[in-house]
Amino acid sequence: MHLLRRIETYMKRTSMPPTRFGRDAVGDPRFVFDLRNGREPRPPTRARVHAWLDRRERERS
């Protein structure tokens, strides 16, 4: 799944604002806004976000 789509789905399901997501996942409150504007994160950042989402989704199960 595309990273931004996965993030948007997570934020919608949890009612998490984009600034909170960015701050919690990568320490950057502008992260989601930058992705929406075309930012392409480096592979380590992508892996970090996917790992963060994986942990959160496991905790919800």
Q: Give the pLDDT confidence score for residue 18 in this predicted structure.
A: 98
Average pLDDT over residues 3-15: 97
Q: Shortest CA distance to 17 belongs to which of 2, 33, 4?
A: 33
* Predicted model pTM: 0.93
Average pLDDT over residues 13-36: 98
Asked if residue 38 lies in contact with residue 45, where contact means CB atoms within 8 angstroms, the answer is no
Average pLDDT, the chain: 96
d(CA 30, CA 40): 13
Residue type, 4: L
- Res. 50 pLDDT band, cuts 50 70 90: very high
Q: Give the pLDDT confidence score for residue 60 in this predicted structure.
A: 83
Average pLDDT over residues 7-15: 97
Spell out the domain ranges in the chain.
Answer: 19-54
